[in-house]
Structure 1
Amino acid sequence: MSLNKNNILIFFLIFFSGVSFSQEEIITIQDSTKTKILGDVIITATRTMRQLSSLPLPVQLISKKEISNVNSMRLNDILNEQTGLITVPDFGGGEGIQLQGLDSQYTLILVDGVPLIGRSAGTLDISRITVGNIKQIEIVKGASSSLYGSEALGGVINIITETPKHGLNGNIHSRVGSFDTYDSNLNIGYRKQKLAMNAFVNSFISGGYDLNDNDALNTVEPFKNYTFNSKLTYDFTNKTNLFLSGRYYAQNQDYIASEDLKGDSNINEWNAHLKLSHMYSDKWSSYFEFYTTRYKADEYLNNPDNSRFSESNFNQLLLRPEMRATFSPTDKSAFIGGLGWNHETLVRTDFSSQPEFNSPYAYLQHDTNPTEKLNLILGARFDSHSEYESQFSPKAAIRYELTEKLAVKGSVGYGFKAPDFRQLYFDFSNSTVGYTVLGYNAVISKINELEAQGQIANSVVPLSDFDDELKPENSVSINIGADYNPTSNLKLSINAFRNNIDDLIDTRVIANKTNGQNVFSYYNVHKVYTQGLEFNSTLKLSNQLKISGGYQLLFAKDKEAESAFKNGDIYARLTPSSPSFKLKKEDYFGLYNRSRHMANFKVFYEFPQWNLDANIRGTYRSKYGLFDTNGNNYLDAYDDFVEGYSVWDIAINKTIYKNYQLGFGIDNLFGFTDTQNISNISGRIIYGKLNIQF
């Protein structure tokens, strides 16, 4: 039976009915306004400061030390080395993150708690984010719409930037590597009494690379980009605080479609973030937040005579005010509630109109420790929207300490992904081939227009099917796991997950054109699931040596396809001329671009006597399929697959005179490339770096 959001409460009552506890066992809830928390601290999972080891949710934290030691340049570099995460290139060359087998469009990307925008085709390119000023990266797996709304159907990744230390301090960083790659940072911070300021500048230049010598195009064309980031905090009193931040990003890249068609691609992005916080008493606190961001992308192609062949633009704006209050009636319980409003516009080439989204929302969460061993989180959010049906997103999570060394935890939540601007308002006709793609809301008026022009031969789907709204994609996410720390030096964790996704948005033919081509549009049809197991381990053999590893087992399948294989309705051919044969249930592999197995392994070693640290890291991805190659429209055991591969990196860093650090490393040590299928692995990269602290 499919699990929907109405079953969530029943599920939790059944699953945790066997948990018993004494009402006399009580601990103080760990809130930033109550206690000083020791160890790794995370804020994304609950929107409050919580100790990582006490959370009832599947969460990963990447520290600044690890980011610095591995000499990563961009966010995609560091995320690729985490359990259950893989960056996947899209058709435009950007890299989005796949999490628990879910596409990048289902993972919300935040910087300091506020969202990035600019998903031209569902993918948010995380390679545009520098890691030079990152304090830590927080990864929350599982549906998180109860706190964050749309796009958090699969999880949330929050990039926390640095805050300045006391006095005047900073660093200069430069890395030079293969493929004419130059990455340079300047980071300056100042803190004194009530005032703290920080300024960060990054320049990233690449000569691009080419994996295929048989054509005139590079796999990645040369580009350069710049990031400017500033933060300011001011304490009016010990109870009232002001936070201001701004970020600007610009990129220019060569845009070459053929030997004759050449141009430029430009991206400009900015955001501004204001937050005013106040603590009324030991029990009450609140903040007001205002966030606004704009993402612009423009590109053009010119003919050999410099006349314009084509051009396109993308201009998205988001405004979001929010108010949030925290109430802690006792030292073991806290309520968090918020009200906000999203206003979003997009001006884009090939749109039927200039759409505008308005979506007020409200959320409430209760975080409580009824006993010393038990933590329970219950929350929900309501999102209204001007263009699709309202969404109610509940979530519950629980953690229980069986012993001092072993704890079990589980969470279940509802997540949703709203139809994006493209799926609602796209109006594109390919001038060369002749097909047309229409957004759901553009279908009725545009089909009538094409019929009046004599371009429609016949309709496949009646226009009455477009009278209702396109539904948001939605999912019920379940995570059940355990943390086991048999010794102070060994940490083990395991998590089983299941994501049931309904109303998946796909494309279909809605009409045939008189030129022999089709008209496509979007509709709710598919029901898919991703499920599997994740395992993480960390072993600290000494103060100098740390070994860690992770593994994910993943099954990602379309429920309709699974039934078709089970019923014997699917056939395949080994060659175009060979006879077809019936496929079995076990022949169905699953969704495209998903690997059954992924793993990572890392060894970090410090040489204190030499002020030197070194590490080696490896990642493995098993085979996966990108296309149906035997003509049955499914990925089965007889299709062609991208073979499994591993990538190994090494890094060595030497500190000189305390404030100077030299680094050397090799990314993709054995030079793995796949010229046909994998465009985001360039080959062996040899680099050196210099970092100066002041």
Structure 2
Amino acid sequence: MRKIIFLLILFISQTAFSQNSFKALVKDEKSHEPLIGTNVFIESLKIGGTTDTNGKVEITNIPDGTFTITFSYIGYKLSKCKISFPSKYSKKAKIIYLESMAIESEEVFVTTTRTNGVIDDIPIRVEVLGSEEVREEIGIKPGNISKLLGETSGIQVQQTSATTGNVSFRLQGLPGKYTQLLKDGFPLYSGFSSGLSLLQIPPLDLLQVEVIKGSASAFYGGDAIAGIVNLVSKGPSKTPEWYAIVNQTHKRGRDISSFYSNRNNKIGITFLASQSSQNAFDVNKDGFTDIPEFQQTTLNPKLFYYFDESATLMLGISSSFDNRKGGDIYAIENAPDSVHTFVEHSKSNRLTTQLKFEKRFNNGNVLTFKNSINNFQRDISVTNTNFSGEQFSSYSELSYLMKTKKHNTVLGLNFISDAFDENKNISKAAQPLDYDYYTPGIFAQDDWNITQKFILQTGTRLDFNNKYGTFFLPRFSVLYKFSDRLSSRVGYSPGYKLPTTFTSDAEARAFKNVNPISSNMKSETSQGLNLDLSYKFFMNEFMFSLNQAFFYTKINHALIPQSDSLAKGILMYENANLSLETKGFDTNIKVALDELVLFVDYTYTDVQKNYDKTNPYLELTPKHKLNMTLSYEDEVSWRTGLEAFYTGKQYLSDMTQSVDYWTIGFMVQKLFKNFSIIGNVENIFDVRQTKYEQVVNKPYSNPSFRPIYAPLDGIVANVALEIKIK
């Protein structure tokens, strides 16, 4: 009996000693953050556990042998490993790194901030309209970027002329003159040339659009009090690629665009060609155009030379020719007579050269030199009044990017020139609008990765303008990552803008009776604060992201029309004695389930003219704006989209309020191997300002126009053929 008991105790003790345990610490592969709630399971034994708040787990009662252990976590790829027991991981935890699913791990690189970093690691908030979004919008309006920008979060695209159809865009509720428009980091569209800029840029060659909201003059100099919009072009592809699109609207508009790209070991080339035309169209049958007549052509070849894998030279030329007419439709389609006299005719030519040299060193440092020269000529005639002028501007920059373990530092200098010469023989103005500015500047920027969670970006710029003196622009931005899902940014930046007569107010009157800037005028200066919170959640095919941003900008010495001169029919500018302030918030939500994607963007904007106690609200600025887009894409054959846009009431110059309105659009695209067919309807319910009021006021021989706050063209349907050959 004693022997039996002894053998039983011996068997039990041996069995107990053969039971093993397994310890693990599960982390995110990229951020190394612990993953809480990861399932750890041994299928063959039907035992497992879940990681705790520190990402740790322990599984006990594992017999001797070799077993496969599975690690699974929502939004991450499944991971398996084989462990033989007994194992050292009974006492020491095995570290397991899980890789996030492709929907989360896609990285977006940003160039506007010069450090060329991943968007999730940049302290200043940059919004990117990626290649997929750009591609979708090209089929809807391939002739220019006005619709592309209009559907970008927080940007308001606004028609400013009832005759020429000119449009401007606003960031954070501020007029378009406060936003700097770049193409590949070149500030090409300012002053006189900014008037038709959105209408003269076809989008077919764009890779993405990068938007910085809030004061950003420290990056590229003045003009960026409200922010920066940078249009980033596609580069040469290693295999030949050719894209073309042909578009026709039911209101007699036509577009044809082509983009070619290719490179070998030494030479690369891209070439954009675009031609758009539109017949004059009177939508509401009042005898005046709601859509102007125009013909527009753009040519943009670029040559890339690769000295080796580390050095590249780019040379480019961009030319644009625009001819448009608006006004009395009888006079446009036939000829002016004694009754039908009013026609506004605008002809412009734009020629731009671009040069960029980039040298990348083995240690990651980058030397960059770039230069652009821009010549813009425009002639405007309104009945018997003429205006003509030529703008000549240039931008040169030399910068050096230094990369170390903790720092990305940029040092640089630049030179900006901008001159305008009014053609006195044509304009016959008593006071021509001539000016000649040049601004050398130096700048420095540092991105400091203090920890994996905490990144600080500091920068400063010192500009010297020949007429308005010195501008010192220190700024900072902070990024803190609470986890791999939740992060926050906060930033401060000053800004400035040189005085200019070339605003939407002057454009609306075709520069007639516009006085030049007086010698005692001050530059506009600003202070801006921005704060945002970002949250992301992924689970298999489901994704949810939320960005909540808050903004505040104060502008001192704002350039405003002088009320006494307006009463005399003359536009003369003066500095406001009190500030112009804008504040508000932007809520951006994205929800994706497999191929179904919903975007919701709501912007609240409150712009106050502290200098005007009688009319304190900035005109044509809706407090409430809502954009919603629902899209579905079957990558094999179909893509569809439904859009809804709400624009709230806007104050007008007489302090009355406009109506609020919705516009709805629908798009469907049938995909084939090398081409696709696109059908699109904009403004399905035909919302038009002319349904609420008369836009053209008598006398029709010399009419005045109401401010434009709603669409004039109404419902527009188009069919496009898109061709892709690779």
Q: TM-score range by the shorter chain?
A: 0.7 to 0.9
Contact 2:687 2:711 in 1 (8 A): no
Question: 1:68 — aligned with what?
Answer: 135
Question: 1:494 — aligned with what?
Answer: 548
Question: 1:688 — aligned with what?
Answer: 719
Q: Secondary structure at the match of 2:577?
A: strand
Q: Report deviation, 1:345.
A: 1.3
Q: Are 1:537 and 2:589 counterparts?
A: yes
Q: Report deviation, 1:518.
A: 7.4
Q: Report the CA distance shift for 1:83/1:353 in structure 2 as closer, same or farther (over 3 A).
A: closer
Alpha-carbon distance in 2 for matches of 1:255, 1:648? 27
Structure with bigger RCO (C-alpha 8 Å, 6+ apart): 1
Number of equivalences: 581
Alpha-carbon distance in 2 for matches of 1:198, 1:237? 19
Q: Report deviation, 1:679.
A: 6.2
Q: Report the CA distance shift for 1:365/1:406 in structure 2 as closer, same or farther (over 3 A).
A: same
Q: Are 1:595 and 2:622 counterparts?
A: yes
Q: Report deviation, 1:119.
A: 3.7
Structure 1 runs not aligned, ≥5 long = 1-24, 28-36, 303-308, 442-465, 565-569, 571-587, 629-634
Q: Report deviation, 1:67.
A: 2.4
Q: Report deviation, 1:678.
A: 4.0
The residue type paired with residue 369 of structure 2 is F
Q: Report the CA distance shift for 1:430/1:681 in structure 2 as closer, same or farther (over 3 A).
A: closer
Q: Secondary structure at the match of 1:68?
A: helix
Q: TM-score, normalised by structure 1?
A: 0.79
Residue correspondence of structure 1 range 242-261 to structure 2 within 5 A: 242-256=313-327, 259-261=340-342
Q: Are 1:623 and 2:657 counterparts?
A: no
Q: Secondary structure at the match of 1:236?
A: strand
Q: Report deviation, 1:181.
A: 1.0
Alpha-carbon distance in 2 for matches of 1:283, 1:405? 29
Give % identity. 20
Q: Secondary structure at the match of 1:438?
A: coil
Contact 2:579 2:610 in 1 (8 A): yes
Q: Are 1:439 and 2:520 counterparts?
A: no
Residue correspondence of structure 1 range 308-347 to structure 2 within 5 A: 309-328=384-403, 330-347=404-421
Alpha-carbon distance in 2 for matches of 1:108, 1:225? 23
Contact 2:576 2:611 in 1 (8 A): no
Q: Report deviation, 1:219.
A: 2.4
Residue correspondence of structure 1 range 655-666 to structure 2 within 5 A: 655-656=671-672, 658-666=673-681
Alpha-carbon distance in 2 for matches of 1:471, 1:261? 37
Q: TM-score, normalised by structure 2?
A: 0.75
Alpha-carbon distance in 2 for matches of 1:345, 1:389? 17
The residue type paired with residue 681 of structure 2 is I
- Equivalent position to 2:638, from 612, 615, 623: 612
Q: Report deviation, 1:213.
A: 2.5
Contact 1:661 1:692 in 2 (8 A): yes
Q: Report the CA distance shift for 1:203/1:373 in structure 2 as closer, same or farther (over 3 A).
A: same
Q: Are 1:474 and 2:534 counterparts?
A: no
Question: 1:82 — aligned with what?
Answer: 152
Residue correspondence of structure 1 range 385-534 to structure 2 within 5 A: 385-420=465-500, 437-441=514-518, 469-487=520-538, 489-508=543-562, 520-534=572-586
Alpha-carbon distance in 2 for matches of 1:485, 1:301? 54
Alpha-carbon distance in 1 for matches of 2:290, 2:277? 16
Alpha-carbon distance in 2 for matches of 1:45, 1:519? 36
Question: 1:266 — aligned with what?
Answer: 347
Contact 1:42 1:61 in 2 (8 A): no
Alpha-carbon distance in 1 for matches of 2:598, 2:710? 30
Contact 2:140 2:718 in 1 (8 A): no
Contact 1:105 1:124 in 2 (8 A): no
Q: Report deviation, 1:211.
A: 4.1
Alpha-carbon distance in 2 for matches of 1:551, 1:262? 39
The residue type paired with residue 651 of structure 1 is M
Alpha-carbon distance in 2 for matches of 1:619, 1:400? 33
Q: Secondary structure at the match of 1:692?
A: strand
Q: Secondary structure at the match of 2:218?
A: helix
- Equivalent position to 1:669, from 664, 678, 684: 684
Larger radius of gyration: 2
Alpha-carbon distance in 1 for matches of 2:685, 2:510? 42
The residue type paired with residue 653 of structure 2 is F
Q: Deviations over 1:29-82 (max 9, x none)?
A: xxxxxxxx9634343441221212222223221122122224232211111112
Question: 1:371 — aligned with what?
Answer: 451
Structure 2 runs not aligned, ≥5 long = 1-30, 34-103, 332-339, 696-707
RMSD: 2.8
- Equivalent position to 2:660, from 638, 644, 648: 644
Q: Report the CA distance shift for 1:123/1:478 in structure 2 as closer, same or farther (over 3 A).
A: farther
Question: 1:147 — aligned with what?
Answer: 219
Alpha-carbon distance in 1 for matches of 2:628, 2:266? 44
The residue type paired with residue 597 of structure 1 is H
Contact 2:140 2:680 in 1 (8 A): no
Q: Deviations over 1:655-679 (max 9, x none)?
A: 12x1111111111122111114446
Alpha-carbon distance in 2 for matches of 1:160, 1:512? 40
Q: Deviations over 1:393-432 (max 9, x none)?
A: 1210001011221111111100111112559xx9xx999x
Alpha-carbon distance in 1 for matches of 2:484, 2:108? 20
Alpha-carbon distance in 2 for matches of 1:430, 1:126? 18
Of 662-671 and 363-372, the range deviating more from structure 2: 662-671
Question: 1:293 — aligned with what?
Answer: 374
Alpha-carbon distance in 2 for matches of 1:130, 1:142? 26
Alpha-carbon distance in 2 for matches of 1:132, 1:388? 39
